[in-house]
Amino acid sequence: MNEALSIKKLGDIDEAIRFLNIGCEVIERFTPDLLSLLSVMARFSRMVSAIAPVEPLVPKDFHLAELVSLAHLHRLMNQVVVSTKQRFRMRIYILGKGISIASRYLISKIKDIVVTKSQDQKEWREIVEIEQDFNTLSRESLQSFRTLLEVLSGEDARRLSQDLRIKTASTHPTNHVA
């Protein structure tokens, strides 16, 4: 998105839109895999007896009003939920909702700009901000994955790895090696 914005500033709107299209395709391909990872993580978190303390999302880290509200809800619910395992699963759920929201908005905004070939600075800035939100959610998801890996037994970690390989092979058949 930043490359597209830089190219737009140089005056080549067609090339900038081509970059936006590429970014849109990446988001469309990446989102289901990330949501699938979160789903597998939630399933495996039930097997863990203890998880490190889970911090809630920080509202000021987001631009989209829906994500700010979701982060506030997460902070509130984090005080109500008692066990760290429940907090972890709630975090996974909130991250999944946030990723769905951010990707839907990002794809929609990109397609709007592509169709209209808009050069409106505000619309382009919104895309960059939504991309930052999506990246924040992606980083938080990966941090949650690391947290889960740290507490899984060796056998559970192997099963998680197998589950992820199976999911990846079924969603991307060209990646499957016979």
pLDDT digits (tens, 9 = 90+) for 25-42: 989 998 998 998 898 888
> pLDDT averaged over the chain?
85
**Residue 50 banded pLDDT, cuts 50, 70, 90:** confident
Q: Please give the Cα distance from 38 to 144 (Å, whole number).
A: 9
Residue 92 has what pLDDT?
94
**What would the pLDDT profile of 115-128 be if each residue is shown by its tens digit?**
998 888 899 999 99
Residue partners of 176: CB distance under 8 A and separation at least 6: 169
Q: Let me know: does 100 contact 106? Beta carbons within 8 Å.
A: no
Report whether pLDDT(68) > 90: yes
At residue 81, the pLDDT reads 85
Round to whole Å and give the CA distance between 171 and 68.
31
CA distance 58 to 95: 12
**Is residue 171 scored above 70 in pLDDT?**
no
Asked if residue 169 has pLDDT above 90, the reply is no
Cα separation, 35 vs 144, in Å, equals 13
